[in-house]
Structure 1
């Protein structure tokens, strides 16, 4: 294939590749939300957007880098790509599962940094997971703006790996750049520190998971109870964790049963929650059930330790017939 033929074909198919990249991005983000209940706006540390290669970059790669492609147009599989940047290496595994479970593409791993570390444990170099995902007929039929058998590169990195890549991609490892041995040594040291920092961060996360387990378990219980008793979907904002953290010493194995008994004896609590939930943020949160129980069991301490304004807890005290002065 001559350069002019390559360019003509690319110009005619560029939009199709862009549509395919957009489909891959949206599908991965949707499945992350569904499988892991993730807020992708928080989970992904850099916005993921499909990127279509510039024509000049494709021509350089196809004809002027000594790659010796047998069929340069079809052999170049990163004409469109999507990058996902996460915080920790364990987060990469979630995206791996989504990529490998989809019915809309066939996949192959182009790079796997964990495998590379096993093969060359003494080497500290660029790290990332690269997939090539190729559209299936099912994907083409579902979308209608691209055909089957289109490749898209999916890159998955941690935030620190991304920073390393941004620094070194063009400045160090491109053939046109003659990086000094000292510069390359600095890069290797930086990657070693990145691996160490990731391990330390994972250790921190494991410790936090242990400490936060009572709050996480209580939140799941309260969310389900709110759905069952109030009969509507609650909001689950960070306000819930904020309140549970303030009163974490009151969370125990008996909480579920005590809350059930409390609500059965006081049906007016649920009625008031339903009425106020229409226009009051607090009453749309599952933790409001916990607040009612605390206010009933220990009104004085609950009021003293209440982390927000008195006006926000006073209606709950009033519902329970607890005087504003005790």
Structure 2
């Protein structure tokens, strides 16, 4: 194919390329949303005619319209690597399009574990048959290149792409070493952030399970359907963690079953203070009974001290003398 012919065909294909890029971009957004993945960035671009023509001088193509797979591209950026991996698995199981992985840098580095550099997942995405999208015919030969990476990997790529790898001159050895070091740090940081999120998720799961148990106890005692402030309840549980044991929920259930009057007191106060509508109120009663001093020391909300005083009084204790 001659240069003029390619330039003419590429110019004519611009509407098709834009439409295909938009379609793929919307598909990625839909897949990410269905898996509760928040994309940090999602962009679509059609390669400029001048850039594509310039690429012909550097690489040989029999038919660049078919072989140049990045004439339209989509880039999706996730916060951390587990989200990228989830998206990759979803794409590879998606049957509606012809999706093929063209590059996986993690596999490339398996054979060179001492090297660090650019990281990304690349896919070639095509329609299985010629398709009409938004009034524009998209050929099954039209390829969209999708790049998936983390936010830190994206920052690395943006810094080094033009200044190091696409530069017209050879970058100084010191600069190359610096970017290699930064790639290693990025991989380490991603690992540390992932481990941090795992720890936080584990803690949140434990507190969430405890809150569900407290809610069941609270509901059985009060039959109250008023709004329950999850954020407030979780904050209280977080602050009281040092005096909460693995069997606390069972102990609270036993404690409440032996003191039916507590549920009645809670119900009588529901309209006076939002605190009494919260499941942590039953936990507070239990801790005021078993660990009164520690509870007062750890209690995080001064505005709820009136409620605490009532709880101590209900249990026959003096709040200001404990």
After TM superposition, the score normalised by the length of structure 1 is 0.72
The match for 1:94 among 83, 86, 97 is 86
The match for 1:51 among 44, 57, 67 is 44
Aligned residues: 303
Alpha-carbon separation, structure 1, partners of 2:168 and 2:181:
23
Instruction: Give 1:189-268 correspondences, 5 Å limit.
Output: 189-201=181-193, 208=199, 213=202, 216-223=205-212, 226=215, 229=219, 236-237=230-231, 239-262=232-255, 264=257, 265=260, 266-268=262-264
Instruction: Give 1:278-293 correspondences, 5 Å limit.
Output: 280=274, 287=280, 290-293=283-286
Asked if 1:171 is matched to 2:160, the reply is no
The corresponding residue for 2:111 is 119
Alpha-carbon separation, structure 2, partners of 1:273 and 1:126:
61
Asked if 1:131 is matched to 2:120, the reply is no
SS of the equivalent of 2:165 reads coil
SS of the equivalent of 1:124 reads coil
The corresponding residue for 1:6 is 10
Alpha-carbon separation, structure 1, partners of 2:282 and 2:50:
59
Larger Rg: 2
Tell me if structure 2 keeps the 8 A contact 1:128–1:155. yes
Asked if 1:32 is matched to 2:35, the reply is yes
Relative distance call for 1:216 and 1:203 in structure 2 (3 A) is closer
Alpha-carbon separation, structure 1, partners of 2:278 and 2:177:
53
Deviation at 1:200, TM superposition (A): 4.9
Tell me how large the CA RMSD over aligned residues is. 4.0
The match for 2:72 among 79, 91, 110 is 79
Relative distance call for 1:168 and 1:223 in structure 2 (3 A) is same
The corresponding residue for 2:26 is 23
Alpha-carbon separation, structure 1, partners of 2:174 and 2:12:
44
Alpha-carbon separation, structure 1, partners of 2:252 and 2:128:
51
Asked if 1:188 is matched to 2:192, the reply is no
Deviations along 1:269-294, whole A, 9 cap, x unmatched? 775797689xx5x6787655544543
Alpha-carbon separation, structure 1, partners of 2:241 and 2:53:
60
Show structure 1 runs of 5+ residues with no match: none
